[in-house]
């Protein structure tokens, strides 16, 4: 039996839960937007929880951050300007800035407290925050994209919380239309798209909304993520222009270190499960 020494996230509707054994509760606060908690765990290092949902652990965040960044950046022909909507723990920003061709990376998180806590409890994720190409803004990403000039960005990475609360509008057709307008002609959005096992309906709705907004070339990729519901997560790329694979040679010769991502992992992540193909074809 689990006792009070365990943090547990119950997944509504999936009749399942995920638990981590806790050494100490390091912090808790209600920010202007959400309830933030930091735990020290026995096996996963530090853990950030937002509104009861696991966000980032020291031990396994590289799966998510590397897949959400490098998969998209090696799909785009020549990404120079990248926005990260959400992403307040700064792990995605760190990965994006590993690409020498990136000239500007703007992270737009609604909640400055997430970043301030990440600086204390996940300093390794924040090690590129002072890169001259990085720009950290603390405003609503929905408004940021709505107010953007046409052709002002090459890749928009939506590294958000689940589609409830402040992130709900980040999964809407209106938001994707604003992304379409802000993107350059080869531009693309990549968004965390939850679990195919638990959130198939949401994935279908999200892909429809992207297509309806003109981001009609879609590619969902899959990766393990132990601390998220079902342990199996996904990202979806939605592009203005046709997608012709990815820059395999550049990926194979990437000039930086990663823990998970490489050219073979990229290829493997694009394999589409049979049940997913059938559901999305409907």
Catalytic residue ranges: 159
What is the spatial distance between Cα 49 and Cα 31, in angstroms, rounded to a whole number?
13
The minimum distance between CB 140 and ligand SAM, in angstroms, equals: 5
Burial class (CB in 10 A: 0-12, 13-18, 19+), 145: buried
Nearer to ligand SAM, 64 or 180 (CB): 64
CA distances from 37 to 29, 34, 184, 255 (A): 7, 10, 38, 36
The minimum distance between CB 19 and ligand SAM, in angstroms, equals: 17
Is 191 among the residues that bind ligand SAM (CB under 6 A)?
no
Is 166 among the residues that bind ligand SAM (CB under 6 A)?
yes
Footprint of ligand SAM on 79-138 (CB under 6 A): 85-89, 108-111, 114
28: region left, alpha or beta (phi > 0 left; psi from -120 to 50 alpha): beta
**Judged by CB under 6 A, which of 41, 46, 160, 191 binds ligand SAM?**
160
Distance linking the first and last C-alpha atoms of the chain: 42
By the 8 A CB rule, do 234 and 195 touch? yes
Nearer to ligand SAM, 64 or 221 (CB): 64
Footprint of ligand SAM on 29-48 (CB under 6 A): none
Is 161 among the residues that bind ligand SAM (CB under 6 A)?
yes
Is 20 among the residues that bind ligand SAM (CB under 6 A)?
no
The minimum distance between CB 185 and ligand SAM, in angstroms, equals: 25
Nearest partner of 211 among 183, 251, 178, 173, judged by Cα: 173
Residue 149 DSSP symbol: P
**Contact positions toward ligand SAM, by CB under 6 A?**
55, 64, 85-89, 108-111, 114, 140-142, 159-161, 166-167, 170, 192
């Amino acid at each position: 039996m689990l006792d009070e020494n365990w943090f547990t996230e119950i997944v509504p509707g999936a009749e399942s839960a995920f638990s981590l054994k806790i050494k100490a509760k390091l912090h808790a606060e209600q920010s202007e937007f959400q309830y933030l908690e930091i735990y020290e765990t026995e096996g996963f290092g530090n853990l950030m929880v937002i509104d009861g949902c696991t966000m980032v652990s020291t031990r396994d965040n590289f799966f998510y951050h590397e897949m959400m960044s490098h998969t998209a950046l090696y799909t785009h022909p020549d990404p120079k300007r990248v926005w990260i909507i959400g992403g307040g723990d700064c792990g995605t920003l760190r990965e994006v800035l590993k690409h020498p061709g990136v000239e500007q990376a703007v992270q737009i998180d609604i909640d400055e407290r997430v970043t301030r806590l990440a600086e204390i409890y996940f300093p390794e994720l924040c090690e590129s925050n002072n890169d001259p190409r990085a720009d950290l803004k603390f405003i609503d990403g929905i408004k940021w994209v709505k107010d953007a000039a046409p052709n002002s960005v090459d890749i928009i990475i939506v590294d958000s919380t689940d589609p409830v609360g402040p992130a709900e509008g980040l999964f809407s057709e209106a938001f994707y239309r604003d992304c379409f307008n802000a993107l350059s002609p080869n531009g693309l959005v990549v968004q965390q798209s939850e679990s195919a096992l638990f959130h198939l309906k949401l994935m279908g709705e999200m892909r429809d909304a992207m297509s309806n907004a003109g981001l009609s070339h879609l590619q969902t990729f899959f990766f393990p993520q132990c601390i998220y519901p079902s342990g199996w997560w996904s990202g979806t790329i939605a592009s203005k222009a046709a997608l012709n694979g990815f820059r395999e040679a550049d990926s194979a010769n990437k000039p930086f270190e990663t823990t998970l991502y490489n050219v073979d992992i990229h290829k493997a992540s694009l394999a589409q499960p049979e049940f997913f193909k059938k559901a999305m074809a409907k």
